[in-house]
Amino acid sequence: MKLIIAIIQPSKLEEVKEELYKQEVNLITVSEVLGHGRQKGVTEIYRGAKETGNLLRKIKMEIAVNENFVEPAIKAIIKGAKTGEIGDGKIFVLDLQECVRIRTEERGSVAIG
């Protein structure tokens, strides 16, 4: 089991979700976050407003998957998020020790689905 964390541009969220759904990756948690990489201090447009500053609005997606879904999920995120511009984002893949479905108390890869 793996936990995929993707930091993407807010404007690319719907495209990334669509690409993930095509790969049958459906269990996604999404958070609005602030951060910067190398592009700190860059001005960007968010919901029609120009923003300049050290921390830029980003979307953080957390996706728990079984091993056979790791590469399809990564490719889907890249396909949906990539513009070729600075600030497209990052993908992190971590080992997931355990997963428990609270309702049924199922554990492990069965709990992920």
Per-residue H/E/C for 9-24: CHHHHHHHHHHHHHCC
Q: Does residue 112 sit in helix, strand or coil?
A: helix
- At residue 91, the pLDDT reads 99
With beta carbons less than 8 A apart as the criterion, state whether 30 and 60 touch: yes
- Domain containing 83: what range? 2-112
CATH of the domain at 65: 3.30.70.120
DSSP letters, 46-76, are: ETTEEE-SSSEEEEEEEEEE-GGGHHHHHHH
Whole-structure pTM value: 0.85
Q: Which of 2, 16, 14, 10 is nearest to 75 (CA)?
A: 16
State pLDDT tens for residues 9-56: 999 999 999 999 999 998 899 999 988 877 665 666 667 776 666 788
Number of structural domains found in the chain: 1
Q: Write the CB contacts of 37 (distance below 8 Å, at least 6 apart in sequence).
A: 87, 90
- At residue 87, the pLDDT reads 87
State pLDDT tens for residues 74-109: 999 999 999 998 889 999 999 999 999 999 999 999
